[in-house]
A = this chain, B = another copy of it.
């Protein structure tokens, strides 16, 4: 904590004094003790973003599902598995100046995970009853008290990327959507590069294909610009 305090005192950059929540990675939703449903997400874009925001001086609370890419240095890491746990961790981390939801959260969970391993029986296949997961982006966007000044969602789409992402922004009530095309053909999922379109009140700004770390630095700079200087 002393080191923390020193770190904060020394923090400089356009985001010094700002607290930003970042979610990253997939969530794992249990089917039984040995099986689960997951989203493909290496956590690379989220980790790069956490790193870029911390690099600009922000205090970053990094809420991450079980990602392949390790969390960045210099952030507060909160590890979770399920969407429900991620929502709780995000709410715990508020208030914040901004929240960036880069995690690939499962839309559905299995309603009643089995407590024992589901056995394979001849001529019988399991049926899974699903329940809708909490919508963390919509919930935080709709907060009446303690809503972060800037709420940023991600939209990983495979079809009609711009239309789906624009509709998602309106539906969730967030300020910005970072849309990207994760069709297998793009090689973006699991890769080092990303090609995103930033959707805001100003319309849709398509960025060229670039490294995920470059996307992160560019987005972090935009966030710093949007939040402006800390009033002291």
Q: Any chain B CB within 8 A of the CB of A130?
A: yes
Contact B126 A33 (CB under 8 A): no
Query: Hey, which chain B residues are within 8 Å of A31, CB to CB?
Result: 37
Distance (whole angstroms) from the CB of A189 to the closest CB of chain B: 7
Give the CA-CA distance A158 to B116 in the complex, in Å: 6
| Interface residue A12 (Cβ < 8 Å from any Cβ of B) | no
Binds B, one of A84-92, A103-111, A139-147, A191-199: A103-111
Cβ contacts under 8 Å, A128 to chain B: 128
Does A36 interact with chain B (Cβ within 8 Å)?
yes
Docked pose: A104 CA to B184 CA in angstroms: 25
Complex CA–CA separation, A199 to B158 (angstroms): 48
- Is A132 an interface residue, CB under 8 A from the partner? yes
Partner of A34, one of B33, B40, B108, B127: B40
Q: In the bound complex, what is the Cα–Cα distance between A184 and B182 (angstroms)?
A: 34
A window 93-123: CB within 8 A of B:
104, 106-108, 116-117, 119-120
- Contact between chains at B156 and A117 (CB < 8 Å): yes
Q: Count residues on chain A whose CB falls below 8 Å from chain B CBs.
A: 35
Say how far A221's CB is from chain B's closest CB, in angstroms. 28
Q: How many angstroms from the CA of A107 to the CA of B114 in the assembled complex?
A: 15
| Minimal Cβ-Cβ distance residue in B for A30 | B40
A73 at the interface (CB under 8 A from B): no
Closest chain B CB from A158 CB (angstroms): 5
How many whole Å from A227's CB to the nearest CB in chain B? 30
Across the interface, which residues of B come within 8 angstroms of A120, CB to CB? 107-108, 132
Contact residues, A17-58 vs B (CB, 8 A): 28, 31, 33-41
Contacts A34-B40, A108-B126, A127-B130 known; 12 new A-B pairs at CB < 8 A: A28-B38, A31-B37, A33-B184, A34-B39, A34-B41, A35-B40, A36-B37, A116-B158, A117-B157, A117-B159, A120-B132, A125-B130
Subset of 19 A-B contacts with CB under 8 Å: A31-B37, A33-B40, A33-B183, A33-B184, A34-B40, A34-B104, A34-B158, A34-B189, A35-B39, A35-B106, A38-B38, A107-B120, A108-B125, A108-B126, A116-B158, A117-B157, A117-B159, A120-B132, A125-B131
